[in-house]
Amino acid sequence: MLLGFFIGAASGYFQFRLLSVFTKAVTGGAPDMRAVLLGVGQFFLPLVVLLSCAFLLPGSLFWAAAGMVVLLAGCALVRFLSVRKQK
pTM of the model: 0.86
Count of structural domains, the chain: 1
Q: What range defines the domain where residue 30 resides? A: 2-86
Report whether pLDDT(9) > 90.
yes
> How do residues 47-80 score in pLDDT, each as one tens digit?
999 999 999 999 999 999 999 999 999 999 999 9
Query: CA 53 → CA 73, 78, 81, distances in Å?
Result: 20, 27, 32
> How do residues 20-37 score in pLDDT, each as one tens digit?
988 888 888 777 888 888
Left if phi > 0, otherwise alpha if psi is -120 to 50, otherwise beta: which for 29? left
Residue pair 35/26 in contact by the 8 Å Cβ criterion:
yes
Question: Which residues, 6+ apart, have CB-to-CB distance to 44 below 8 Å?
Answer: none
Please give the backbone phi and psi of residue 31, each rounded to the nearest 5 degrees, phi first. -70, 140
